[in-house]
């Protein structure tokens, strides 16, 4: 009304003429309140001021006492804008080297972001004198950032093309080793011999008095180990970032560089191109290569200076030093080892799966009343809910939902087409992801498959497996076992599988302080049978299976509707089971409430080892985002502690086996709660004892659990037989 009139008084004056009776009466009756409200919100423009407005103009930030405060609190970026450290301060916040003897007497480096990135200042090292100068400088100061360049991403197949070093922000070099020029008529550029460079660098890279700094250093460790160089000691900026900020952002170098030092690094595509015109890095011109390669080492050093001091301030040193950092060379060696696969068996499985997929397609088309593209969600939704008229579908902006939960619901309702589509999807995925892809993944030089483990991918700290992903092979199905059967030991060897038994339930018993569960685990009782007795009053195959579902579902913060779907019951029945579960095991209900309260107050949760997982959307106004964060927050301390424990076991395993005279027993795979080894038949008994002991006591001495950790061990000629 005010938009249509000049002001409030005009609206009130015209009120008797308004045709809507209720609106007219309200305006007339409450005119006084309207005028009072206007008066209450009116700004006072004639109040006396204690100081003239002109005297309040900001004429610059006074450096004191602001500088002292910024130095004390570690605000390096702001400190640089104020004007840098004060005289005699020493700038201790910028130096993470307090414990490094070689650096103790040196002045601290300037803040990483205070030095501009100058690509033209990077040096290309092509003579021995320059190489020796860089090595001497790195050794003198006690730390150096290191990066490698290769001709492809797969570190097992790749060739070393060059090495970058950085000793200070803006001070970096590139040592080309394998550049060949782009094209038949291109000359091979001047560069030092690969063997000479590695011979000179080896003492530096293995020097225990010089800290080597890398970003995703695992890749570089593999490249150096293939050349006979064992890099130690080291820091990894990717892992430092992960242990500080898991869940807040990614931990790749480019993203961290923009986030922490305000610099966008040169993109790989800007140097090597894209698509059909893309070249490998060994063909990049040496006038351009150092700008990209040396920048990586420069940025890595700057990130280290920025992130490393935060570990102690933010209580992340423990998880970094006790869990993640020791794991890097162990995982690098596992990737180098790889695992043998039976190509002929994979080919047989692919052919068999193809036949079954064809049969399923015919059956699905018959049930649908005609052919359609089963892999198209749009066409599938139209067939199920428009053509066949199935009930209960969810329709969004892009069409009908045909995700796995929707198909499982239809299958549970007795719709055979949904069951066959689920089978078709599983077989198609297994064929494309494993039986076909694994054959292409076999390294021709080793005859083995070398998966890549991501150390900073899963938010809870679990390792991720890619290229190929070996962690999504179905565990409990016959098809999954047959795929595992294709993973075999070398002739004359066996595979040994060591699997934590119900580790997350055991950790829940400890972390939630549930006496009944702790006592049951100490006595070696069947925990699912115990839960069945508590919830349903009897133990049989059906109640034990339902109890098992409840045990794991509640740890994942499942809702009444989610549990109802898994058990095939009503939501009211599911809520009754949840209530009864919390009544029998009140510690779990208390744990959930306390964990959610902590997460809402602090934005993160922690494992027993102090690993933080952040949940920035836990206070979201979007119900789906908020509830998803809440479910993840409930499980993260338990799943994350489980991940921390198996990582500690992995880090200790090579040394323990070596001390027992079993140094040639190789750890090949880590899949969820399982470790897979390759060994000789006569090593099974002594190796099993060592492996069991290391895994059972991996939490100690940092953490003492109230429940034992049990390990199931099996052996056989294949992974399927051992699992």
Please tell me the predicted confidence (pLDDT) of residue 58: 75
Q: pLDDT digit string (tens) for 358-416?
A: 999 999 999 999 999 999 989 999 999 989 988 878 887 778 888 888 888 888 788 89
- Across the range 681-685, mean pLDDT stands at 97
Q: pLDDT digit string (tens) for 437-479?
A: 899 899 998 999 999 999 998 888 999 999 888 888 887 778 8
Residue 329 φ/ψ, nearest 5 degrees? -70, -25
Reported as a pLDDT band with limits 50, 70 and 90, residue 629 is very high
Q: pLDDT digit string (tens) for 330-359?
A: 999 999 999 999 999 999 999 999 999 999
SS3 171: strand
Reported as a pLDDT band with limits 50, 70 and 90, residue 54 is confident
Kindly tell me if the per-residue pLDDT of 29 is higher than 70.
Answer: yes
Kindly tell me if the per-residue pLDDT of 95 is higher than 80.
Answer: no
Residue 341 φ/ψ, nearest 5 degrees? -125, 150
As given in the structure block, the two tokens for residue 616 are 């920035």
The model's pTM: 0.80
Reported as a pLDDT band with limits 50, 70 and 90, residue 94 is very low
b vs e for 410-425, b when ≥16 Cβ sit within 10 Å of the residue's Cβ? bbeeebebbbbbbbbb
Q: pLDDT digit string (tens) for 522-534?
A: 988 888 888 888 8
Please tell me the predicted confidence (pLDDT) of residue 315: 92
Q: pLDDT digit string (tens) for 70-93?
A: 887 878 777 776 764 443 333 333
- Across the range 508-534, mean pLDDT stands at 89
Task: Report strand pairing: 143-150 vs 171-176.
Answer: unpaired
Please tell me the predicted confidence (pLDDT) of residue 104: 37
Mean pLDDT over the full length of the chain:
89
Quick one: which of 480, 538, 122 has its CA closest to 292?
Answer: 122
Residue pair 673/499 in contact by the 8 Å Cβ criterion: yes
Residue 20 has, within 13 A of its CA and on its CB side, a CA count of 5
As given in the structure block, the two tokens for residue 270 are 């800007």
> 194: Cβ–Cβ under 8 A, 6 or more apart, which residues?
160, 177, 178
Kindly tell me if the per-residue pLDDT of 99 is higher than 60.
Answer: no
Please tell me the predicted confidence (pLDDT) of residue 100: 39
Please tell me the predicted confidence (pLDDT) of residue 424: 94
Cα-based torsion angle of the residue sequence 470, 476, 479, 484 in order, rounded to the nearest 10 degrees: 40
Reported as a pLDDT band with limits 50, 70 and 90, residue 201 is very high
Reported as a pLDDT band with limits 50, 70 and 90, residue 110 is low
Kindly tell me if the per-residue pLDDT of 581 is higher than 90.
Answer: no
As given in the structure block, the two tokens for residue 152 are 């492809």
Q: pLDDT digit string (tens) for 244-303?
A: 999 999 999 999 999 999 999 999 999 999 988 899 999 999 989 999 999 999 999 999
């Amino acid at each position: 009304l005010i938009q249509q009139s000049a002001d409030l008084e005009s609206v009130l004056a015209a009120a008797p003429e308004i045709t809507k009776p209720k609106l007219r009466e309200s305006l007339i009756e409450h005119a006084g309140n309207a005028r009072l409200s206007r008066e209450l919100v009116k700004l006072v423009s004639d109040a006396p001021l204690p100081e003239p407005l002109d005297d309040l103009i900001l004429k610059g930030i006074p450096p004191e006492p602001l500088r002292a405060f910024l130095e004390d609190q570690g605000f390096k970026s702001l400190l640089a804008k104020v004007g840098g450290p004060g005289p005699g301060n020493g700038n201790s916040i910028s130096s993470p080297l307090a414990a490094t003897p070689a650096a103790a007497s040196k002045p601290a480096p300037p803040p990483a972001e205070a030095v501009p990135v100058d690509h033209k200042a990077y040096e290309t090292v092509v003579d021995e004198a320059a190489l020796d100068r860089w090595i001497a400088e790195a050794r003198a100061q006690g730390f150096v950032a290191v990066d490698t360049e290769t001709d492809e991403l797969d570190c097992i197949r790749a060739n070393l093309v060059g090495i970058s070093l950085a000793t200070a922000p803006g001070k970096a070099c590139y040592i080309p080793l394998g550049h060949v020029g782009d094209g038949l008529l291109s000359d091979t550029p001047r560069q030092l011999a690969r063997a000479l460079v590695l011979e000179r660098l080896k003492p530096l890279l293995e020097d225990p008095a010089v800290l080597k700094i890398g970003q995703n250093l695992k890749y570089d460790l593999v490249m150096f180990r293939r050349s006979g160089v064992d890099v130690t000691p080291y820091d990894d900026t990717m892992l430092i970032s992960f242990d500080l900020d898991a869940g807040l952002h990614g931990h790749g170098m480019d993203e961290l560089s923009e986030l922490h030092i305000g610099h966008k690094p040169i993109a790989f595509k800007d140097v090597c191109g894209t698509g059909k015109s893309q070249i490998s890095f060994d063909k990049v011109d040496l006038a351009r290569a150092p700008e990209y390669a040396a920048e990586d080492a420069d940025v890595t050093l700057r990130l280290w200076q920025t992130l490393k001091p935060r570990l102690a301030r933010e209580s992340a040193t423990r998880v970094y030093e006790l869990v993640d950092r020791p794991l890097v060379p162990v995982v690098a060696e596992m990737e180098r080892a790889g695992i043998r696969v039976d190509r002929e068996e994979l080919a047989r499985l692919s052919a068999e799966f193809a036949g079954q997929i064809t049969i399923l397609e015919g059956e699905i088309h018959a049930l649908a009343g005609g052919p359609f593209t089963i892999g198209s969600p749009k066409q599938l939704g139209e067939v199920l809910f428009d053509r066949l008229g199935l009930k209960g579908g969810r329709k969004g902006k892009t069409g009908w939902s045909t995700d796995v939960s929707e198909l499982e619901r239809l299958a549970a309702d007795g719709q055979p087409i949904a069951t066959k589509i689920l089978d078709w999807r599983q077989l198609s995925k297994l064929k494309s992801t494993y039986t076909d892809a694994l054959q292409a993944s076999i390294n021709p030089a080793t005859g083995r498959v070398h998966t890549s483990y991501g150390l900073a991918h899963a938010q809870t700290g679990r390792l991720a497996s890619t290229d190929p992903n070996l962690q999504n092979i179905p565990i409990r199905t016959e098809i999954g076992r047959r795929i595992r059967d294709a993973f075999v030991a070398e002739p004359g060897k066996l595979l040994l599988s060591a699997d934590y038994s119900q580790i997350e339930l055991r950790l829940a018993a400890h972390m939630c302080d549930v006496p009944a569960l702790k006592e049951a685990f100490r006595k070696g009782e069947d925990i699912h049978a115990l839960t069945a007795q508590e919830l349903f009053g009897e133990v049989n195959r059906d109640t034990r299976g339902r109890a098992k579902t409840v045990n794991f579902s509640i740890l994942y913060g499942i809702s009444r509707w989610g549990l109802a779907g898994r058990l095939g019951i009503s939501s009211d029945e599911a809520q009754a089971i949840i209530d009864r579960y919390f009544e029998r095991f009140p510690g779990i209900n208390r744990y959930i409430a306390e964990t959610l309260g902590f997460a809402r107050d602090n934005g993160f949760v922690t494992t027993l080892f102090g690993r933080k997982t952040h949940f920035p959307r836990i206070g979201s106004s979007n119900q789906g985002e908020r509830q998803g964060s809440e479910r993840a927050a409930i499980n993260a301390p338990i799943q994350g502690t489980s991940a921390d424990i198996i990582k500690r076991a992995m880090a200790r395993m090579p040394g323990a086996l070596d001390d027992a005279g079993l140094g040639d027993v190789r750890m090949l795979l880590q899949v969820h709660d399982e470790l897979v080894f390759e060994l000789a038949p006569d090593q099974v008994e002594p190796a099993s004892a060592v492996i069991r002991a290391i895994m059972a006591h991996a939490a100690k001495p940092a953490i003492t659990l109230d429940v034992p950790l049990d390990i199931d061990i099996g052996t056989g000629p294949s992974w399927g037989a051992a699992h």
